[in-house]
Amino acid sequence: MYICNVKELFTPHQLVLSMMVFLAIIFMMILIIIILMILSHARSKRESDLNNRLDNLISELSLCESVDEFDHFLSQHSTTKILKEIASSKKSSLFVLRKISQAYLSLKGVALDHLKSLYRKMDLERVVFRELNSRKWHRRAFAIQVISRFGGYDAIEILRKFINDNNVHVRTEAQIGMVRLNGFDGFADLLDLNESISEWQQLCLIYVSNFHQFNHVWILKKMLKSTNEGIVVLGLKLTMFYSCFELLEDVRMLKSHCSEDVRKNAKSVLMKFQEGELLWN
Amino acid sequence: MKILVVEDEPLMLKTISLKLTKEGYDVITAEDGRSAMDKIKSELPQLVITDIMMPYVSGLEIVSYIKNCDSKIPVIVLSAMGQEKTVLEAFNLGADDYMTKPFSPNELVIRVKRLTT
């Protein structure tokens, strides 16, 4: 019945034509999908090739035994060619930044010094500054992370601008960076934070502080008197971590603090101090 | 001397293997614990350097596997975790040395030499 109606509505010529149009559309769609797949395959091959070349380059550079060997390696034709290629593309420069920022966590000593030299010689700071002005928080947070790891011109001043950022990840990276680059002096900049700091931020800050020599009891004393509850808790945790027995009286005063979290942490510190006292006696 | 390096981070895997190759060692690599176990069986390395946090099989399981099969192969554990508990667990399982990341490639070579001479 339905087929009869179609036959009445369209002539055989129209039906054949519409069939052909339909087949042409299907064919075009398949063609577009194939082209997109080829392009995506080519792009991923290019990325994997770049990834591979960068891994080789970074590992070779990081393993140079001396500055002379490092400079000699950089001046080689094949190396300059790759570096120029990377510098000409925004995406590749970001790729290098990610790689060396990741390597920072695994390498130390001469190898790390060479990575820092590569950062300077490739002028990657320019890329970092561009990322710092991005509207996307994760790009800003990444840029701050790189600055805190590789330092550079005015690094402390730049980080200081972001310690009260609206985005929690951006300000966390900036706060960590302040302590990473400035040691315990970095905590002085955190005394007047607008926002409270989470337990995770506190853990990160204690971890980073561990890379520096502890000799700043006065900063902890100030932290314990801060109007920011999170800073007081962090100060208490640092007091316990570095066993600052000279702050016993300051901690005792916090037993009557208006915040329950502060009181709880003060109690933990006092209990630890008391334990030490008992052991001593 | 054949050394197996087990590390899931490609850049670190390349760096370690390149450093050891420069020092004259024959290096084989594995990017996860499962393929590391296969290579231990097939390639018979004389020393294993392994990361802890890896897909499928962890570094600690590799240490335990090696020490259960042939306790003569020395193992160096390389990890980002420096907690006392993890370090002690690695040594209890039979690890011969432990290095915490960040590490110096030169220091790693010295530790390798110490275990292979």
Model ipTM over 0.90: no
Q: Is the pLDDT of residue B18 over 80?
A: yes
Question: What is the mean predicted confidence (pLDDT) over A266-273?
Answer: 89
> Looking at the complex, does the CB of residue A87 fall below 8 Å from at least one CB of chain B?
no
Pick from A208, A151, A219: which is nearest to A180 by CA?
Answer: A208
* 8 Å CB contact between B62 and B38: no
Q: Is B31 on the interface with A (CB under 8 A)?
A: no
A95, A49 in Cβ contact below 8 A?
no
Name the packing angle between helices A229-241 and A199-209 (round to 10°).
40
Omega cis (within 30) before B102: yes
Strands (E), chain A: none
Give the pLDDT mean for A203-232.
Answer: 89
Asked whether residue A71 carries a pLDDT value surpassing 80, the answer given is yes
Q: Mean pLDDT check: name the lowest of A4-8, A169-173, A255-259.
A: A4-8
Of B10, B19, B22, the CB nearest to A55: B10
In this structure, of A177-181, A187-191, A251-255, A273-277, the range with the lowest mean pLDDT score is A273-277
B20: Cβ–Cβ under 8 A, 6 or more apart, which residues? B3, B5, B27, B109, B112
Report DSSP state, residue B103: B
Residue B108 Cα distances to B4, B49, B111, angstroms: 14, 10, 5
Tokens of B59: 């570094």
Nearest by CB to A106, from B12, B19, B22: name it. B12
- β-bridge pairing B75-79 and B26-30: unpaired
Nearest residue on chain A to B17, alpha-carbon basis: A59
Calculate how close chain B gets to A75, using CA atoms only, in Å: 20
Per-residue pLDDT averaged across A122-137, rounded? Answer: 90
C-beta atoms of B14 and A62 within 8 A: no
A contacts of B11 (beta carbons < 8 Å)? 55, 58-59, 99, 102-103, 106
Alpha-carbon distance A51 to A73, whole Å? 19
- Check CB contact under 8 Å for A106 and B104: no
* Closest to B9 (Cα-Cα) out of A101, A127, A141: A101
Per-residue pLDDT band for A93 (boundaries 50, 70, 90) equals confident
Identify the H or E element spanning A220. Answer: helix A217-223
pLDDT digits (tens, 9 = 90+) for B43-98: 889 999 999 988 889 999 999 999 888 668 999 999 886 677 888 888 999 999 99
A48 touches chain B (CB under 8 A): no
Question: Are the Cβ atoms of A63 and B22 closer than 8 angstroms?
Answer: yes
Task: State residue A2's pLDDT score.
Answer: 56
Report residue A281's pLDDT band, with 50, 70 and 90 as the boundaries: very low
Q: How far is B102 from chain A (nearest CA, A)?
A: 4
- Please tell me the distance from the alpha carbon of residue A91 to that of residue A136, in angstroms, as a whole number: 16
Which of B 64-83 lie inside 8 A of A, CB atoms?
Answer: 80
Among partner residues B10, B15, B106, which is closest to A109 by beta-carbon distance?
B106
Residues A1-51 pLDDT 10s? 555 666 677 788 888 999 999 999 999 999 999 999 999 999 999 888 888
Confidence of residue A168 (pLDDT cuts 50, 70, 90): very high
Closest partner residue to A62 among B9, B10, B15, by Cβ?
Answer: B15
Tell me the residue ranges of DSSP E strands in chain B. 2-6, 26-30, 47-51, 75-79, 97-100
> Which pTM was predicted?
0.77
A236–chain B nearest CA distance, Å: 22
